[in-house]
Homo-oligomer: A and B are copies of this chain.
Amino acid sequence: MPGGSSDRLRGVLALVREKGGRITTTRRAIVAALLDADDHHVTAQLLAERVQVGNPDIHASTVYRTLDTLTELGVVEHTHLGHGATVYHLTDRRHQHLVCESCGAITEVPLAVFDPLVEVLRDSYAFRLRPEHVALSGVCANCAGSDLDRGAQDEQ
């Protein structure tokens, strides 16, 4: 491996600075955690916990504020999963999420799948869909087998 994910870390931080943001120890830690969690759909809260493992004095409120700032800088994006949880990603990994109402499993889907829908909504409703911003809800393959009768388990 060349530099592993630390290349990507450097890249993201460079972008932050480039956009006028400052680089602090705290931010480095947060972005690193975000990078680690990249496939795992972290909430702000979870991210805070993880960051605090190595840096016990980074406050949760700072994580929230940092995520906001990074969002404004265009480096981070969030998606609302059904239940209310909001998960964060770096913007270079855009995709759509399918959340299973029954077991909570998350499936990633390339955005291209939504192109036809984007077109219909644009043409018929003058609405510019941003599919990644909200996760779609339904029942996954596993649960579809067992869960044929009732709607869901602990769905909210």
Establish whether residues A130 and B126, one from each chain, have CB atoms under 8 Å apart when the complex forms: no
A6 within 8 A of B: no
- Closest chain-B Cβ to A70's Cβ sits at a distance in Å of 13
Instruction: Render A103-140 as a binary contact track against B, CB cut-off 8 A, 1 for contact.
Output: 00001010001101100110011111111011111111
Q: 14 A-B pairs, CB-CB below 8 angstroms? A: A82-B134, A98-B121, A98-B125, A101-B130, A109-B121, A113-B124, A125-B141, A126-B141, A127-B140, A127-B141, A128-B140, A129-B136, A130-B137, A134-B136
Q: Which of B117, B124, B127 contacts A116 (CB 8 A)?
A: B117
Number of copies: 2
Given contacts A84-B80, A121-B109, A131 and B127 within 8 Å (CB-CB): no
A86 CB-CB contact with B under 8 Å? yes
Within the complex, what minimum Cβ distance (angstroms) separates A142 from chain B?
9
Residues of B within 8 A of A116 (CB): 116-117
Cα–Cα, bound, A82→B128 (Å): 15
- Of B84, B98, B125, which contacts A129 at CB under 8 A? B98
* Residues of chain B within 8 A of A125, CB atoms compared: 98, 107, 109, 141
Give 9 nearest A-B pairs by CB, closest first: A126-B141, A133-B137, A129-B138, A128-B139, A130-B138, A134-B137, A128-B138, A98-B127, A80-B82
